């Protein structure tokens, strides 16, 4: 099996790599297991030293790895640079905070006295080698937000990255090696999706994390469940973006555009469904459509480009099918709705705004992974919540209002892993990240994320 780097801006295959065979996979799994037995006993200070060194190297490599990401999956070069910087920031955050996040916990003596213990404590111990199955849309960040906490907790990692970003995948394995992490602590597996099950079933693999599609999550969760192994899943999203009458409309519109087309619209936490109160709907729709229509679609290596190509030809085909289905069922295209005529090569799609969406349309239920927005008018806050929750997904949400009562109701009733008020959903190392419903389970980042792959061990002691 060959794994290839294909430039989505041109469709040109730039380089192919041979997939790792069974013997090489075995060697790497064994190395991860052997490394864990030694690495788990290292101090937080030593792990932090190594992690900070990795962050320094990433800063030095930032321009090169940014161009690699852009060429492999098409994100605008400015966004790729920001992604590299964000990864270095997260590495340093975990280097600074891991020890306190995993500090031993001592319940109040009065609370444990009737257990018969003279003392009791809870400590967090690493689990072992963790298999990470990662997607192409944020090829550096998705990995680092797993790797930084996992390594700081004392685990080792095996990365099965998306097959269309092999250069980024290999860079990540090399980055941690160059930083001085012991051999086997973090390795890349160049394997196809069909080889994941065998690795996950290996008795030496302690747990798994996956960011990706719902079908991929179901597959990994089923195997892990059969093996009784812990998993964390971050799957799809169809995030609502609710605009109420009291909102700062110019800010809401400007942020809405960024929230929809960030990463060329290929983000699980990108706002996708724009739910707008009828009092401001017409004004919002006019401004939003004009701004989406004014975006520059072009070469992602060009500093002036707002929206580059979709990462894969199949991804563009899937997006076209969703839009075409909606139009056949009666949706109205306010702008976009097809491929740009001046981009005959590559997998481009014009920023698109649709209205007249009904529950029977596929686009109402399925995730739009590309620069396509759907507009929904609602008459009051209860209808806004109902439309927002009428989705199989529950990753994050955005609400725009200056009414405190609105905020309280949204925070209480929205079915999502996050509620971002008067701002755009974003991930940050200090805040837990994850979803509910078919958006997955478990949390990444913050203390919640680093403890996902730890054994919370009760130590009961009588003197």
Residues with a catalytic annotation lie at 234, 268
CA-closest candidate to residue 353, choices 377, 335, 328: 335
Q: How far apart are CA 239 and CA 248, in angstroms?
A: 20
Using CA of residue 323, residue 422, residue 283, residue 376, what is the dihedral sign?
A: positive
Q: Give the total residue count for the chain.
A: 463
Q: How far apart are CA 18 and CA 461, in angstroms?
A: 54
Residue 389 token pair: 């929750």
Question: What H or E segment, with its residue span, contains residue 426?
Answer: none
Question: What H or E segment, with its residue span, contains residue 22?
Answer: helix 22-39
Residue 325 token pair: 């289905």
If one counts every other C-beta atom within 10 angstroms of the C-beta of residue 10, the result is: 14
Ramachandran class of 116: left when φ > 0, alpha when ψ lies in -120 to 50, beta otherwise: left
Distances (CA, A) of 447 to 140, 185, 338: 21, 21, 43
Residue 345: exposure state from Cβ atoms within 10 A (0-12, 13-18, ≥19): exposed
CA-closest candidate to residue 384, choices 184, 251, 246, 204: 246
Beta-carbon contacts of residue 177 (< 8 Å; ≥ 6 apart) = 183, 186
Residue 18: exposure state from Cβ atoms within 10 A (0-12, 13-18, ≥19): exposed
Question: What H or E segment, with its residue span, contains residue 11?
Answer: none
Using CA of residue 90, residue 95, residue 100, residue 105, what is the dihedral sign?
A: positive
Q: Are 238 and 256 in contact (CB under 8 A)?
A: no
User: What's the CA angle centered on 219, arms 213 and 225, to 5 degrees?
Assistant: 125
Beta-carbon contacts of residue 69 (< 8 Å; ≥ 6 apart) = 75, 80, 83, 84, 139, 140, 165, 168
Q: How far apart are CA 332 and CA 311, in angstroms?
A: 26
Q: How far apart are CA 75 and CA 308, in angstroms?
A: 6
């Amino acid at each position: 099996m060959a794994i290839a780097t294909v430039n989505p801006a041109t469709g040109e295959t730039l380089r192919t790599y041979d997939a790792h065979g069974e013997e090489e996979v075995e060697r790497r799994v064994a190395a991860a297991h052997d490394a864990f037995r030694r690495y788990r006993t290292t101090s937080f200070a030593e792990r932090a030293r190594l992690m900070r060194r990795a962050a320094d190297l990433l800063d030095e490599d930032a321009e090169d790895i940014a161009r690699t990401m852009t060429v492999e999956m098409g994100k605008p070069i400015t966004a790729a640079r920001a992604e590299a910087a964000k990864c270095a920031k997260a590495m340093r955050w975990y280097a600074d905070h891991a020890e306190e996040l995993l500090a031993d916990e001592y319940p109040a003596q009065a609370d444990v006295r009737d257990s018969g213990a003279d003392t009791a404590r809870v400590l967090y111990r690493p689990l072992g080698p963790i298999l990470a199955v990662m997607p192409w849309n944020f090829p550096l960040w998705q990995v680092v937000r797993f790797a930084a906490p996992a390594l700081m907790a004392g685990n080792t990692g095996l990365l099965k990255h998306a097959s269309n970003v092999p250069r980024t995948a290999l860079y990540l394995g090399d980055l941690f090696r160059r930083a001085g992490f012991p051999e086997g602590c973090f390795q890349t597996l160049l394997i196809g999706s069909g080889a994941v099950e065998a690795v996950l079933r290996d008795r030496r693999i302690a747990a798994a994390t996956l960011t990706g599609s719902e079908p991929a999550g179901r597959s990994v969760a089923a195997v892990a469940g059969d093996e009784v192994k812990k998993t964390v899943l971050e799957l799809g999203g169809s995030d609502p973006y609710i605009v109420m009458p009291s909102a700062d409309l110019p800010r809401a519109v400007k942020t809405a555009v960024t929230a929809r087309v960030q990463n060329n619209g290929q983000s699980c936490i990108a706002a996708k469904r724009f739910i707008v109160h009828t009092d401001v709907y017409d004004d919002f729709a006019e401004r939003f459509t004009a701004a989406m229509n004014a975006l520059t679609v072009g070469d992602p290596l060009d500093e002036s480009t707002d929206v580059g190509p979709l990462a894969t030809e199949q991804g563009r085909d899937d997006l076209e099918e969703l839009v075409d289905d909606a139009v056949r069922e009666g949706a109205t295209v306010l702008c976009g709705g097809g491929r740009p005529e001046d981009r005959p090569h590559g997998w481009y799609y014009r920023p698109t705004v649709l209205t007249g969406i009904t529950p029977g349309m596929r686009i109402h239920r399925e995730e739009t992974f590309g620069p396509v927005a759907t507009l929904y008018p609602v008459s009051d806050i209860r209808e806004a919540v109902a439309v927002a929750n009428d989705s199989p997904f529950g990753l994050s949400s955005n609400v725009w209002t200056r009414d405190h009562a609105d905020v309280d109701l949204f925070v209480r009733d929205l079915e999502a892993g996050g509620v971002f008020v008067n701002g755009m959903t974003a991930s940050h190392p200090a805040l837990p990240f994850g979803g509910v419903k078919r958006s997955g389970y478990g949390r990444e980042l913050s203390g919640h994320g680093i403890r996902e792959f730890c054994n919370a061990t009760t130590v009961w002691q009588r003197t």
